[in-house]
Amino acid sequence: MDTPELDLTALRVFHAIVEAGSFSAAADRLGMAPPMVSKHMARLERVLGARLLNRTSRSMSLTEAGAAFHAQGRQALELLDAAAAAVGQGQQQPQGELRISAPVWCATPRFAALLADYRRACPAVRLDLHLDNHMVDLVSGGFDVALRMTAEPAPQLIARPLCAMAFHWVAVPGLLAHLASEGGGRDAAPMPVILPNYVPAERLTAGLQQALGRRIDPVMRSSDTTLSHHAAQAGIGAAFMPAWLVEDDLAHGRLVRLPVDTGAARTLHAVYASRRQMPLKLRSFIDFLAQRLGG
């Protein structure tokens, strides 16, 4: 079995806690939310297989193992900081690998063009993208940043708004024409829909059913937005899609919007762990997206 590797951020968090005297003071020093400090600390103790701090609601102290680890770890951090400073003096541009988590629907020509433009601006940065519609744990997953569509970002993370993103109910024109020819009402043919299997159906279908005046039939569920998009194009049913994915279809008449109010546009955020000691590669990527998408 492989031995888990020590995380440098968790090591810095531990030393900040010891030097600042509390988790909250360490969070302020590091520019992190307090829950993220606790998460890093728990992971460090789990990797080491030892308790480093004795904690109560009123006090905190180093264990014997914690005292020894702090003394030796501080020397290691000082050496690393000195080496980083020496390298940083000659570093003129962002570089290194940037691990990014993003929704599946980012797999579009528009987003690919954005990545190409960023690479032209920062050619020394290597991009490692992981597309998933589920929330990932940035710390345990080793991600630098996650692009998330959310109204309430997690309190333990830093979230920078990038742009508003509209969502539409769409279907092929033939499906709407067929249903319209049969009339409405409770006894009319139901509207077949394609739903994401990671969101409660009622959150998406209540407004649609009311707007169309007919029952909703969830004929397909999928965890992959791209597959749902192709299924909608194939006429399987109506689908709830982000504008990025269907704007070209709507412009060319391959899909049409259903007459239903989907509410205000959601906000796409860049979510990351800390404002302090942000690598240049991460700062440059977030600033690039904010500038290009925010306009």
The conformation of residue 237, written as its DSSP 8-state character, comes to: -
Measure the CA–CA gap between 32 and 274, rounded to whole angstroms.
5
Measure the CA–CA gap between 43 and 49, rounded to whole angstroms.
10
The answer to whether 8-88 and 167-264 have equal CATH topology is no
pLDDT at 218: 93
Q: What architecture is domain 167-264?
A: 3-Layer(aba) Sandwich (3.40)
Q: Which fold would CATH assign to domain 96-155+271-294? A: D-Maltodextrin-Binding Protein; domain 2 (3.40.190)
Pairing between β-strand 191-196 and β-strand 216-222 as defined by DSSP bridges:
parallel
- Choice among 75-79, 93-97, 184-188, 273-277 with the minimum mean pLDDT: 184-188
CATH code, 8-88: 1.10.10.10
- C-alpha of 158 from chain center: 11
Measure the CA–CA gap between 205 and 202, rounded to whole angstroms.
5
pTM, 2 dp: 0.66
Q: Which residue has the higher pLDDT, 118 or 38?
A: 118
Measure the CA–CA gap between 243 and 246, rounded to whole angstroms.
5
Measure the CA–CA gap between 138 and 102, rounded to whole angstroms.
12
Q: Which residue has the higher pLDDT, 123 or 186?
A: 123
| Residue-wise pLDDT tens digits, 37-96 | 888 888 888 888 889 998 877 778 888 888 888 877 776 776 676 666 555 545 568 888
Q: Pick from 130, 136, 138, 135: which is nearest to 40 by CA?
A: 138
Q: Where do the domains of the chain lie? A: 8-88, 96-155+271-294, 167-264
| Residue-wise pLDDT tens digits, 230-266 | 999 999 999 999 999 999 999 999 999 998 877 767 8
Q: How many residues does the chain have?
A: 295
Q: Percent of the chain beyond pLDDT 90?
A: 36
- Number of neighbours of residue 273 by Cβ within 10 angstroms: 24
Name the CA radius of gyration of the chain, rounded: 24
Q: Which residue has the higher pLDDT, 106 or 174?
A: 106
Q: Which two tokens stand for residue 15?
A: 């030393």
Measure the CA–CA gap between 217 and 205, rounded to whole angstroms.
10
Measure the CA–CA gap between 116 and 108, rounded to whole angstroms.
12
C-alpha distances in Å from residue 207, one per residue of 228, 263, 267? 20, 10, 20
